[in-house]
Structure 1
Amino acid sequence: MSGPERLVGVELGGTKAIAILADGDQITERVTLATQAPAETLGALRDQIDRWRALWSLQAIGIASFGPLQLDRGQPDYGTILATPKPGWSGARVAAMLTDGFDCPWDIDTDVNGAALAEHLWGAGKGCEALSYVTIGTGVGGGLLISGRPVHGAMHPEIGHLRLRRAPGDSFAGACPFHDDCIEGLVCGPALTQRLGMDAAAASDDHPAWRYVAWDIAELCGAILLTTSSERILFGGSVALERSFLLPLVRQILVERLGDYLPFVTAKSADSIIRAAALGPDAGPMGAIALAKRAASKA
């Protein structure tokens, strides 16, 4: 017989996937596996959810996935990955493969919208009317919350593919297969390997390319602030979290580039506006749990 109700979350990333079992907002079990082909990866995740379902009564399931995603509930491909640079994943039926046959409620959103929700509930985004979350890793994604709700419309925010002003002297062509030098094509993990001429983890802090990377991220922050009036932009992902000098340099360049136009962005306030996510690497997994909580509340 199944025990007390539990929440299940799945964070599906470009390089790894995490299945989470939670009691409220406390993670009790976590299983991590490499993101490979859709059938293999989603099949393994579904097997894990089925194992938990045999032991517990599942209250809800939350799925926080890399995108782009079809999030229009009126479309027959709702919960499916759209055209993506991730080989083999365009058209992957993420929600269907993970939830078909379940009678508990479920919700799906982008991994970054989920992380933004988690930071709003439990992290550095508490009390924010407008909040952005940006992750820099295999790709670049951005989630946006207004009044505590993820922004959806024709699709969902795709800020990683903005094409913004380049730093003087930066001749890197970009690595995005769709747009070359969009932000993702300039600062995601594969792009950094090309820009730095080595794995980013092996590059020294004084490598000259980091200045260009900071410029690009500062341009992204400026675009977000000017268009969304976000009170905070929270960063996750290995690039943002592992280089202690990077966000301070981003803040400095951002303030210089804005030229005193936004009165709430100053050299002093930038420290609180541009910061690392408080939940760190757990922002993504807890984002899936936040989506499960949202699904349960609507049931």
Structure 2
Amino acid sequence: MKQYGAIEAGGTKFNCAVSDEQLNIIDAIAIPTTTTAETLEQVFQFFDKFESIVSMGVGSFGPIGIDQSKKNYGYILATPKAGWENFDLLGTLKKHFDCPIAWTTDVNAAAYGELKLGAAKGKNSCIYLTIGTGIGGGIIVNQKIYEGFTHPEMGHIRIKRQPQDLFVGTCPYHEDCLEGLAAGPSLEGRTGISGKDIGEENPVWELQADYIAQALMNYTLILAPEVIILGGGVMNQKNLLTKIREAFLHQLSGYIEFESVDSYIVEWGLPNQSGILGCLSLAKDLEEDQL
């Protein structure tokens, strides 16, 4: 029986899984991200129990090297995660595993999972945006992950700041980018309250919705995906999705018509599973492409 392996490599933990040919997960583990040696030793121990893995999919925190013509292909690049900067993760995995390995970012893998098995199933294109401690996004076009000379950094687009918003932002690189103004830490930074404890009537959610809607409008005007999927911890706020949809329509001002904004901007269909299932889907597709 064929088996597929998946690694969702995060700065906090490595989620690893093995599935059967139908992508049913046989076994899975979450390994804390500590040192490169310690973390990968546990990763290898987990996968070495399986003898029928024919391919693997890896979605990694980044930024990562994705250009196969460059020496840094497969590397984790300028990450603030201590000990992981300029680390050849893909090369290290290839030395241990005798099978083909698909390589992309964690959010690209999540977007792919949503397209294959989640909220964008049956579509040819989608955007997946995760809004949590940071903000990142993946783009699927014609059922393929979109990448240029590097992978998209959708959380760092510039946003028009509301005049009443005096919060300096949390991004060390940009004053007015989406991540700095709308990721989870900005909620506590403005209110002094953990995001999960902020009541739904707090005006900070209107501000949050406005900034996210600005980003979604820009993505729509540039890429025109069939669906935009929102995930991550910030989206657990009960009424935030409704507020984002309303702000999105207001900002577009009828320039583009939608059959239903409720079916265009949607919640993730695979909560907390988009990434690992996306990696498994990439592994399966890679193996089938090589037959």
Once the two structures are superposed, the pairs formed by residues 255-266 of structure 1 within 5 Å of their partners are 255-264=249-258
Could you tell me which residue of structure 2 aligns to residue 279 of structure 1? Answer: 270
Q: Distance in 1 between matches of 2:213 and 2:156?
A: 15
Once the two structures are superposed, the pairs formed by residues 33-48 of structure 1 within 5 Å of their partners are 33-48=31-46
Corresponding letter in the other structure for 2:7: V
Alignment of 1:192 with 2:187, yes or no, is yes
Q: Is the 8 A contact 1:10 1:64 kept in 2?
A: yes
Q: Distance in 1 between matches of 2:19 and 2:136?
A: 25
Alignment of 1:97 with 2:92, yes or no, is yes
Q: CA deviation at 1:68?
A: 1.5
Alignment of 1:254 with 2:248, yes or no, is yes
Structure 2 runs not aligned, ≥5 long: none
Q: CA deviation at 1:129?
A: 2.6
Could you tell me which residue of structure 1 aligns to residue 8 of structure 2? Answer: 11
Alignment of 1:290 with 2:278, yes or no, is no
Q: CA deviation at 1:236?
A: 1.5
Alignment of 1:270 with 2:268, yes or no, is no
Q: CA deviation at 1:150?
A: 0.5
Q: Is the 8 A contact 2:77 2:85 kept in 1?
A: yes
Once the two structures are superposed, the pairs formed by residues 140-151 of structure 1 within 5 Å of their partners are 140-151=135-146
Aligned to 2:285, what secondary structure does the other structure show? Answer: helix
Q: Is the 8 A contact 1:163 1:183 kept in 2?
A: yes
Corresponding letter in the other structure for 1:278: G
Structure 1 runs not aligned, ≥5 long: none
Aligned to 1:133, what secondary structure does the other structure show? Answer: strand
Corresponding letter in the other structure for 2:263: S
Q: CA deviation at 1:84?
A: 2.9
Alignment of 1:211 with 2:177, yes or no, is no
Aligned to 2:52, what secondary structure does the other structure show? Answer: strand
Q: Distance in 2 between matches of 1:87 and 1:271?
A: 41
Q: Distance in 2 between matches of 1:285 and 1:28?
A: 13
Q: CA deviation at 1:153?
A: 1.3
**Structure 1 residues 88 and 172 mapped into 2: Cα distance closer, same or farther (>3 Å)?**
farther
Q: CA deviation at 1:207?
A: 2.2
Q: CA deviation at 1:180?
A: 3.3
Q: Distance in 1 between matches of 2:88 and 2:201?
A: 43
Q: Is the 8 A contact 2:160 2:176 kept in 1?
A: no
Q: Distance in 2 between matches of 1:197 and 1:180?
A: 20
Task: Work out the percentage of aligned pairs sharing the same amino acid.
Answer: 37
**Mean alpha-carbon deviation: is it higher for 59-68 or for 94-103?**
94-103
Deviation digits for residues 18-65 of structure 1, max 9, x if unmatched? Answer: 00111121111110133334333333223322333xxx2111011011
Could you tell me which residue of structure 2 aligns to residue 69 of structure 1? Answer: 64
Q: Distance in 2 between matches of 1:15 and 1:193?
A: 20
TM-score (ref. length: structure 1): 0.91
Could you tell me which residue of structure 1 aligns to residue 178 of structure 2? Answer: 183
Query: May I ask how many residue pairs the two structures share in their alignment?
Result: 289
Aligned to 2:168, what secondary structure does the other structure show? Answer: coil
Q: Distance in 2 between matches of 1:184 and 1:89?
A: 22
Q: Distance in 2 between matches of 1:263 and 1:88?
A: 48
Q: Is the 8 A contact 1:14 1:138 kept in 2?
A: no
**Mean alpha-carbon deviation: is it higher for 164-173 or for 107-116?**
164-173
Q: CA deviation at 1:87?
A: 4.2
Q: Distance in 1 between matches of 2:261 and 2:10?
A: 29
**Structure 1 residues 112 and 79 mapped into 2: Cα distance closer, same or farther (>3 Å)?**
same
Corresponding letter in the other structure for 1:33: I
Q: Is the 8 A contact 1:85 1:177 kept in 2?
A: no
Q: Distance in 2 between matches of 1:38 and 1:211?
A: 41
Corresponding letter in the other structure for 2:213: A
Q: Is the 8 A contact 1:43 1:97 kept in 2?
A: no
Aligned to 2:286, what secondary structure does the other structure show? Answer: helix
Q: Distance in 2 between matches of 1:194 and 1:86?
A: 22
**Mean alpha-carbon deviation: is it higher for 249-258 or for 10-19?**
10-19
Corresponding letter in the other structure for 1:140: I
**Structure 1 residues 15 and 205 mapped into 2: Cα distance closer, same or farther (>3 Å)?**
farther
TM-score (ref. length: structure 2): 0.93
Deviation digits for residues 278-298 of structure 1, max 9, x if unmatched? Answer: 112111110111121122123
Q: Distance in 2 between matches of 1:208 and 1:16?
A: 33
Q: Is the 8 A contact 2:78 2:86 kept in 1?
A: yes
